[in-house]
Amino acid sequence: MKKSITCDYHNLTSFILRVALAVPFLFAAIDATLQPEAWIGFIPLFLRNIIPGALLLGAHALLDFTLAIWLLSGWRTKYAAIFSALNLATIIIVNITALEIIFRDVGLLLAAVALGVLQYKR
Amino acid sequence: MSTVFTASFITLAIAGIADAGYLVWKHYRHNAGPLVCPLDHDCSKVTESRWSTIFWVRNEVLGLLFYISILVAGLVVFFMPKLVLLTLPLGLLIKVAAGAGLLFSLFLLWVQLYKIKDYCFYCMLSALINLLLFMNSFFII
């Protein structure tokens, strides 16, 4: 007899969106730690004039890493999605002049919004 | 050596630790509840089957140790490149280890398909991570 595969599409969609957001966050955190010179340019100059760029980059890498783990954990996903969306929106706004590079983040931002909508009232 | 590929290698290793670590945590923590499968599937048919241990060690524990070793190797490649180039055939070791991990995953896929005749989402995910790790291993050194 053929086995029927039950599938909760809500859980699956949520999982795929969480992984889709967590993997870029994880990669960004690790690559920014391994080769900060490739990422420091994304920290706005006015901020680097106030706080050392390396410190800001390290703090942002830590934030990205934390968000990635939070998203993967599946704990309070709605809030993880909100913080991810805020993080991505900030990245897009402060780097809007480099739109040819950060245009992908717009897609990630909408994925975070979609995850938040999916988890709304759950 | 490409730093980007080292970063992606480390990313995959951490993803593998999360995957295998979740299975280990769920198995050994008595009040952790059942596995939560994104496909709403009963993974315990696979994870608690007689194929769940190899040489008296549970597969997810082996997987966790494998991913931790791979993570350490990736960090050594990045932070001690001279040591790697001069004294250790680490590049070859990583390729062999990643290849062995992939072969073991393929074996477990075969077991799921033809022996247990059921599947586990996290085991499939681990197989995908191992495939990507194996491909990635050719670009880090």
pLDDT in tens, A63-108: 999 999 999 998 999 999 999 999 999 999 999 988 888 899 999 9
> Does residue A17 register a pLDDT over 80?
yes
Report, as an integer, the average pLDDT of A15-24: 94
pLDDT at A3: 47
Helix (H, G, I), strand (E, B) or coil at A26: helix
pLDDT in tens, B81-131: 777 666 668 888 999 999 999 999 999 999 999 999 988 999 999 999 999
B5 to chain A, closest Cα gap in Å? 9
Q: Do the chains contact at A30 and B11, CB–CB below 8 Å?
A: yes
Place of tokens 């050194």: B141
C-alpha B20/C-alpha B28 separation (Å) is: 12
Searching chain A, which residue's CA lies closest to the CA of residue B19? A72
Residue B18 with chain A: CB contacts under 8 Å: 69, 72
pLDDT in tens, B3-48: 889 999 999 999 999 999 999 998 888 777 778 888 778 888 888 8
Identity of the residue in A12, A30, A35 whose CB atom sits nearest the CB atom of B39: A12
What DSSP line would sit under B45-91, residue for residue?
Answer: HHHTSTTSEETTEEHHHHHHHHHHHHHHHHHHHHH-HHHHHHT--HH
Partnered with residue B57 across adjacent β-strands are: B54
A113 vs B44 pLDDT, higher one: A113
- Element (H or E) spanning B4, and its range? helix B3-28
Q: Do the chains contact at A11 and B7, CB–CB below 8 Å?
A: no
How long a stretch of residues is chain A? 122
DSSP 8-state symbol, B115:
I
Alpha carbon of residue B47 to chain centroid: 15
| Residue A118 one-letter amino acid | L
C-alpha B110/C-alpha B91 separation (Å) is: 29
Whether A118 has its CB under 8 Å from any CB of chain B: the answer is: no
**Best to test chain B binding among A9, A18, A34, A67 (most B CBs inside 10 Å):** A34
For the stretch B79-87, contacts whose Cβ atoms lie closer than 8 Å and that sit 24 or more positions apart, written own/partner, are B81/B1, B84/B141
Q: Do the chains contact at A34 and B117, CB–CB below 8 Å?
A: no
pLDDT at B82: 77
Residue B10 with chain A: CB contacts under 8 Å: 30, 34
**Best to test chain B binding among A30, A70, A119 (most B CBs inside 10 Å):** A30
**Best to test chain A binding among B4, B6, B40, B43 (most A CBs inside 10 Å):** B40
A28 vs B86 pLDDT, higher one: A28
Cβ atoms of A105 and A88 closer than 8 Å: yes
